[in-house]
Amino acid sequence: MTIRIGVDLMGNDNSPETLLDALKELELDPSVELLVFGLPEYKAKSPFKYVVAPEFIAMDENPLTALRRKKEASLAIGLRQLKAKKIDAFISAGNTGALVTGAKVILGNLPGILRPALLARMPTKKQPVAVLDVGANVQVKACHLVQFALLGAAHVRSYGIEKPTIGLLNIGIEAMKGTSELRLAYQELKTIAGNLFHFAGNVEGTSVFNGDVDVLITDGFTGNIFLKTAEGIASLILDRFGSLLPPEEYQKLKPQIHDLSGHLHYAEYPGAILAGVQGIVIKCHGYSTPRAFLNAVRGAVQLVRGDQIIP
C-alpha cells in the first residue's frame, strides 16, 4: 500500500525552491509518495506530484480571517485532501494558528476532545518525553489539560509503553503550586489515574530531563516557552563547548557534537504532532531547517505505518 505524504511548501522561512531541493535528497522507500502543495510558479521545479494552490497564508496573518478569506491556500487545500484521504499525512511549517484551527474545522476533533494539542518528543537522560501542548492553545482550562494527558498517554502507548507515567509541568512539586487551573487538573488527574496511566504529580523543569515521566502536560504558552528555552540553552552550551575543547579535539569530535546538537534541537526533530484531530498533521517550526522537513517526512511515514498496524 502506498503511503502518501503531503508537504506544504508555503508560509515559512524557507523558499519553496530550497524545500524542493531538500526533498529531492530524501531517500524514500518506493512505497512512499510525496505530494507538495504550493503556488503555481514553483510547479515546474517539482519532481513530485504537485498540487497547485493559488494562494497561501502568511506567518503574521490572523488565523481565523485568513482561513475564511483564503479557501484556496496551500494549507487549506492540504487539509481538505487529508480529509478526503487523498493523502495519509500533512506537514506544514506555516501559520500555527491557521493550521490548528483549519485542522479542527476541516478534519474535526477526535470524539470527546475539545481542544487538539501540539505534541513534541524531547530527549531526556532516559527515553524521550512527549510534551503537550507546545503551542496550539495559549490559555487552557483544567479539563483541557486532562484531555491532553489522555492524548499523550495514547500517543506513547503506540510506542509500546502500556501504562505511561504522566506529569504536570509546574513551578514546584506540591499539589497547591501554580495556577488554579493547574491545581484543578492535578486533583482530576490524581482521581482518574489507575489502569490507564500512572500520575507522577507536578514536575519541575529541572527534573523533566531526568526522564522519569513519559508524558509532560502543560498549556500551549508554557509548553512553547519550555521547548524553545531547551533549544536555546542547548545551542548556548554547544557553542561554549566548541570554544572549550582544544581545536584538534573539536575537529575529531565534530560529528558527535553535531549529532548531539541535532538530537537536542527541536528544529531537527520530526516536528510536533497535532494530537486530537482526525488525521495525521505535523507542524514544523516556521524557521525549520530543510533537514528538519526531511525528518518530519520520515516521522510522518512512521506515524502512518503505525496507524496502519493498529487495528
Least Cβ distance, residue 35 to a second copy (angstroms):
28
Show contacts with a second copy in window 246-285 (CB under 8 A).
Answer: 249, 253, 256-257, 260, 264
Site string for a second copy, 211-230 (x = CB under 8 A): ---------xxx-xxxxxxx
Q: Pick the stretch among 188-196, 203-211, 270-278, 298-306 that binds a second copy (CB under 8 A).
A: 203-211
Nearest-angstrom CA–CA distance, 137 and 115? 8
Near a second copy by CB under 8 A: residue from 13, 17, 72, 174: 174
Show contacts with a second copy in window 103-122 (CB under 8 A).
Answer: none
Placement of cell 479557501 in the chain: 71
Least Cβ distance, residue 280 to a second copy (angstroms):
24
Using DSSP bridges, classify how beta strands 89-92 and 280-283 pair: parallel, antiparallel or unpaired: parallel
Are 305 and 3 in contact by the 8 Å Cβ rule? The answer is: yes
DSSP letters for 97-138:
HHHHHHHHHHT-BPTT-SS-EEEEEE--SSS-EEEE-SSS-S
Q: How much is the CA Rg of the chain, to the nearest whole Å?
A: 20
Give backbone dihedrals phi and psi of 26, rounded to 5 degrees, phi first.
Answer: -65, 130
Residue 58 found at the interface with a second copy (CB under 8 A): no
Near a second copy by CB under 8 A: residue from 141, 238, 262, 278: 238
Give bridge partners of residue 129 from the DSSP assignment. 122
Of 28 and 238, which CB lies nearer to a second copy in the complex structure?
A: 238
Helix (H, G, I), strand (E, B) or coil at 164: coil
Residue 306 found at the interface with a second copy (CB under 8 A): no
Near a second copy by CB under 8 A: residue from 16, 178, 270, 299: 178
Are 230 and 195 in contact by the 8 Å Cβ rule? The answer is: no
Placement of cell 530550497 in the chain: 18
Q: Pick the stretch among 28-36, 59-67, 191-199, 275-283 that binds a second copy (CB under 8 A).
A: 59-67
Phi-psi region of 154 (alpha: psi -120 to 50; beta: other; left: phi over 0): alpha
| Chain residues that interact with a second copy, rule: CB under 8 A | 59-60, 62, 123-125, 135, 138-139, 169, 171, 174, 176, 178-179, 204-210, 220-222, 224-241, 244-245, 249, 253, 256-257, 260, 264
